[in-house]
Amino acid sequence: MQQQALPRHIAVIMDGNGRWAKMRGLPRTDGHKQGAEVFRKICRYAADIGVEYLSFYAFSTENWKRSAQEVDAIMDLLRHYLNEMEEREQENEEGGYRIRFLGAREGMPPDIAHLMDEVEERSKDKTRMFVNLCVNYGGRAEIVHAARALAEQVQRGELSPADITEQSVSDLLYTAGQPDPDLVIRPSGEYRLSNFLIWQSAYAEFYYDNVLWPDFTPADFDRAIEAYRNRDRRFGNAK
């Protein structure tokens, strides 16, 4: 079996922040803070080894059901991260990340939605690595959004239902223009996709790890990539 090349696109479900904090007798918010630091570390490492696209599941549409205290803490962390990006312009230039936020802006605090727009605009010409942050994101909601857009095109007479293809749908997803994930990593010992990039991950390889996200290291990232490189990817073809 020929070894796979480095994945072009790696998607990560950042899971286990709350459990990490609970195990240490700390507030759940401390777990999210530590998880944010790991996010930065993995971004730098992935860029250094040549990953082209990196997607993170940061806040799902279902996460609004958590306690108001926890949701507010996560929003404050996101607000802090976005403001920090504005302040660290030189570091951002060196990082070379093009940042995109995938998910619905509706329902987000207005100041955060505005900061998201600003960060995307400032980083639009960066090419070293594309970083997708999935915030207020749900895979099913994303597909519904694309379906509605296609229905509107049909209603306007711009498209025939018979002409709708998989590519038509892909072109209306938040990830339009990007390659689908090659590898999906989920730390924390959970074995499910949790509504994350469900269309795009149809042929992704999955890697599950018992390490909680706040303890996740570049060495863990390397192990996931090594596992991927030793998989036999057939895409439905018999070999």
How far apart (Å, rounded) are the C-alpha atoms in residues 196 and 216?
19
Among 43, 122, 46, 129, CA closest to 90: 122
The amino acid present at 73, given as its one-letter code, is: A
- Which class for 33: exposed (0-12), middle (13-18), buried (19 or more C-beta within 10 A)? middle
Rounded CA separation 95/145 (Å): 32
Among 15, 180, 209, 220, the one annotated catalytic = 15
Q: Is 114 helix (H, G, I), strand (E, B) or coil?
A: helix
Residue in 30, 48, 63, 182 annotated catalytic: 63
What residues have CB less than 8 Å from 218, skipping those under 6 apart?
41, 42, 45
The verdict on whether 237 is a catalytic residue reads: no
Q: Is 15 a catalytic residue?
A: yes
Beta-sheet pairing, 129-137 with 97-102: parallel
Amino acid occupying residue 220: D
- Report d(CA 57, CA 133) in Å as an integer: 6
Name residue, tokens 């403001």: 83
* Catalytic machinery residues: 15, 63
